[in-house]
Amino acid sequence: MKTSTFQMKGFLYSYHSIGILMTSYLPLFFFHQGLTNAQIGLMLSIGPIAALLAEPLSGYISDRLKTNKKVIIASLLGLLIFSQVLFQMNTFLLFTMIYFIMTFFMSPIGALSDSLAQKTANQHSVTFGSIRLWGSLGFAVTALIAGQWFTTFGIEQLKWVLLLFAGIAVLLSFLLSDVKVTDKDASNGDFLELVKNHQFLYFLLVVIFVTIAHRSNDSFISLYFKELGANESIVGWAWFIGVGAEVLMFALSPLWFGKLHELTLIAIAAGLYVVRFFLMGFIQDPMLLLFVQPTHGIAFAMFYQSAFQYVTRIVKPEVQSTGHVLLVTVFFGISGIIGGVLGGNIMENFSGSHLYYLLSISSFIGLIGVFAYKRAFRGAQNYLNA
């Protein structure tokens, strides 16, 4: 029986509200606790190492047990507990240890919920973006409200705001419903075939140049705005504008998605990243940078929806959750590690402007790689609707 998309949308809204707090405001909290940019970059890069362990394991368990929901609930409970433990710490070492554990629980949630959203969209014959936009909406609205809140009451209030949204997400997670995509059980041979799938692996290799740039921007855009003299309110507006454009792109996905091949859309998104990051490095006025922020949402929505659908095409239904999770592992895990270390050291030793010029170059390499990949795998195997 088909299930309503309402539960999925509500959960994505609440979970991605947690995401903006972790992505944009947690680095500011660490900064106010006296950590340096290099220490923050190191911590942000250590956290995704936990994702490299947790995300593939969660995908394997989900496909084996044919349930995303139960793994999401268990992960959320761990996140809720350790996010509050984090705020009781007071040294770099303790912050890093608890952040690692917290990321271990948090990282599978986004991957599995997006995988479930993709399956739900296919079940209802709607676009992934029409469901995923609610996560982006939560991200955008919370970015704006939180920015105003922290400007008025201080970044120390972060733990209470995070507790509120984590509690709501836990409650809504029990309303989710799993989606059955195949009657076959996933075997160890299916998982082995996936990790040997050259078409899939080369795709992950190509897009990592774009995802490194995206994740480094996620980690350091708040600190870059602070470097340019902006306060928390301006940081909130920057995220609101960028993710607001993302919401609009996802909402309009029925109009643009499917008109071109997924790889073509990914190439267009990569090109937008090239231009975006160059402008971010060139423009030194934070108020003017707000006019660049819509390119964030346009590029991400186009890239992410297309990448998710492309992975759905090229992996077997039995291991679809694992394929989606491995994509997210590259996007937010491996890219987060590289982007965190690279970004923190460049900002510490040079400047945010230098960092964004390098991110533009990385995106350009990814753009060239997508064209080469498309040429190499034209006409390759497609499992979608097989």
19-23, 166-170, 183-187, 227-231: range with highest mean pLDDT: 166-170
Arithmetic mean of pLDDT, 120-128: 84
3-state helix, strand, coil in the chain (%, to 5): 80, 0, 20
Cβ neighbours of 353 (radius 10 Å): 17
Statement: residue 204 has pLDDT above 60? yes
113-127, 128-142, 293-307: range with highest mean pLDDT: 293-307
Residue pair 141/200 in contact by the 8 Å Cβ criterion: no
Token representation of residue 316: 């077997």
Instruction: Give the angle subtended at the CA of 320 by the CAs of 11 and 270, to the nearest 5°.
Output: 80
User: Residue 41: in which H helix or E strand, if any?
Assistant: helix 37-65
Statement: residue 2 has pLDDT above 60? no
Longest pairwise C-alpha distance within the chain: 57
Per-residue pLDDT tens digits for 329-360: 888 778 878 887 788 888 888 888 999 999 99
Residue 241 has, within 13 A of its CA and on its CB side, a CA count of 15
pTM of the full structure? 0.77
Q: What is the pLDDT of residue 118?
A: 82
Statement: residue 202 has pLDDT above 90? yes
Q: What is the pLDDT of residue 383?
A: 67
Residue pair 155/33 in contact by the 8 Å Cβ criterion: no
Q: What is the pLDDT of residue 363?
A: 96
Q: Which fold would CATH assign to domain 6-176+187-376? A: Growth Hormone; Chain: A; (1.20.1250)
Closest CA to 40 of 339, 286, 350: 339
Q: What is the pLDDT of residue 128?
A: 84
Number of residues assigned to the chain: 386
Between CA 204 and CA 361 the distance in angstroms is 18
* Mean pLDDT computed over every residue of the chain: 87
Q: What is the pLDDT of residue 330?
A: 85
Closest CA to 185 of 271, 64, 101, 100: 64
The owner of tokens 């997508």 is 370
Q: What is the pLDDT of residue 1?
A: 42
Amino acid sitting at position 54: A
Lowest mean per-residue pLDDT among 45-49, 289-293, 313-317, 368-372? 45-49
Lowest mean per-residue pLDDT among 10-14, 203-207, 316-320? 316-320
Arithmetic mean of pLDDT, 15-34: 87
Token representation of residue 256: 């643009």
Lowest mean per-residue pLDDT among 177-181, 184-188, 201-205? 184-188
Arithmetic mean of pLDDT, 60-68: 84
Arithmetic mean of pLDDT, 310-321: 85
Residue pair 305/130 in contact by the 8 Å Cβ criterion: no
Between CA 369 and CA 210 the distance in angstroms is 10
Between CA 57 and CA 153 the distance in angstroms is 40
Q: Exposed, middle or buried: residue 93 (CB in 10 Å: 0-12, 13-18, 19+)?
A: exposed
Cβ neighbours of 68 (radius 10 Å): 30
Confidence of residue 183 (pLDDT cuts 50, 70, 90): low
DSSP classification of residue 91:
S
Residue 111 to residues 30, 97, 330, 331: CA-CA distances in angstroms? 26, 23, 11, 10
Confidence of residue 196 (pLDDT cuts 50, 70, 90): confident
Q: What is the pLDDT of residue 107?
A: 85
Lowest mean per-residue pLDDT among 121-130, 181-190, 352-361? 181-190
Intra-chain end-to-end CA distance of the chain, in Å: 21
Residue 248 to residues 117, 228, 251: CA-CA distances in angstroms? 18, 28, 5
Residue pair 128/121 in contact by the 8 Å Cβ criterion: yes
DSSP classification of residue 196:
T
Residue pair 214/243 in contact by the 8 Å Cβ criterion: no
